[in-house]
Amino acid sequence: MAFAPTRAASSPRSLTTLVVFIVVIALTVTFTLWSDAVGFASTRTSKRFSIVLDAGSTGSRVHVFTFQTDYFGRERLHSEYFHAIEPGLKSYGSSADAASASLDELISRAKSVVPERARSATPFSVRATAGLRLMPEGQDAADAIMDSVRAKIARAGFHPQSETFVSIMDGVDEGAHGWVATNYLLERLGKSPESTVAVIDLGGGSTQIAYAVGSAIMDKAPSGYVRKIQTPFSAYNAYIHSFKGYGLVAVRAKLYRFGKRDEDGTHPCLPGSVQDTCTKDCYGLEPGETYEAKGSATLGTDFKRCLAAVIETFKEDNRTKCGRGPCSFAGAWTTPRKTPLYVMSYIVERGVQAGAAPHPKTPSTIVSTTAGAFKTAASHACVTPQAKLASEFPLAVAAKVDVDYLCLELTYIYALLTTGYGASDTEAIHMLDKIRYKNQDVEASWALGDGIATLGAATRSYHW
């Protein structure tokens, strides 16, 4: 005869205690995860700050990032404070002290966010980008500005290593930090390389591209093209390249010098009354180099001829600089991209202003477009008579964009996306301004990536 196993009787008090314990744990976990999603600070165990000052081509911008660690030991971005001023450091030329003094407002803004007791543990980085690298007064003037800024940051009362975080940032670093920031905010870090996204940034002086690649690509790539990126989550191999002089403003000089002109010597990307001339200290050129270009009142702008001029510029640099193929443009080695394409900065701005992309409903709405939409917008800008450009592109006028350059700029962006970076006319291109992260709208910029890096360097907790 079989007997069922006997069970020991549980006391009502023990059972009640166990149930209460389980309920408390469940509520604690649920509330912590919920608060992590909405960004409440009340459930976090610690708070740290990282300050990044972006000294760009046209202005300076300060980002104060607040990170908090939850009960599970996860440090997450909690919030970002942002403030911008104009003009940029390069506008001060040889007046180094005046340039550094222009940052006083941003330093004061940062101090208003970071409590005094936390400042000595808070890194403060200042990164000058392409604008300072290309300033007409030359490298000595740029170095003098950075020395003056470095001395000011050393006296500001933040982390003692902060003065070592003041530099003219290399374009490759800019691309790497931008890639990290975007994938961090999209919560792709820690996943497979195929689950990350590619990032293109187009500034005034340069453009960068970054995307994850396999380890086999790293083994065969020429030196300087594939970098190993160690994030707090996992390591990635990433193709990263910066194209100095190929920003939306700086590239004009290259197009005028190398691009094919019309038979009468006028440039097909410029409308009739425009004369773009520089005889000294030309932005985007080496000292002593000049350029001169004018539009044709007879022929006007034309998309096909303008596109041919842009592509001819790409080919010219490849003919003289491409040492090992395959090359994309400017002599740069390239390798196929297999991840979705996200773009920012001038590509987003001109896309929305010219109708190549829908206007986002909120700053953190990610809208999608295609390179083909930029082609359509460029064609429209090029065929529009100069006198009607303002009425045809009111969003550009409202943003104080010089509409006389829309044909050139939109055609260049189309060629950059396709001939330069390999997108097809129909591939989805996702446009970033800010990203919704933990109930906060956070700017998708390299500054966040740099903030993570300097915070790690200052505390020895992360290694890049």
- Flag whether 88 is marked binding: no
- Flag whether 204 is marked binding: yes
**Between β-strands 124-128 and 75-85, what pairing exists: parallel, antiparallel or unpaired?**
unpaired
- Flag whether 259 is marked binding: no
- Flag whether 206 is marked binding: yes
Measuring CA to CA, how many Å separate 401 from each of 376, 396, 431? 19, 5, 19
**Known catalytic residues?**
174
DSSP secondary structure of 264-314: TS--TTS-TT-EEEE-SS-TTS-TT--EEEE--TTT---HHHHHHHHHHHH
Amino acid, res. 440: Q
| Burial track 312-341 (b if 16+ CB lie within 10 A, e otherwise) | ebbebbbeeebeeeebbbbbbbbbebebbb
**Rounded to whole angstroms, how far apart are CA atoms 289 and 65?**
41
Within 10 A of 196 (CB to CB), how many other CB atoms are there? 23
DSSP secondary structure of 344-397: EEHHHHHHHHTTSSPPPSSTT--EEE-HHHHHHHHHHHHHS-GGGHHHH-HHHH
**Rounded to whole angstroms, how far apart are CA atoms 276 and 256?**
9
Query: Binding site: what residues are annotated?
Result: 204-208
Query: Binding site for ATP: what residues are annotated?
Result: 204-208
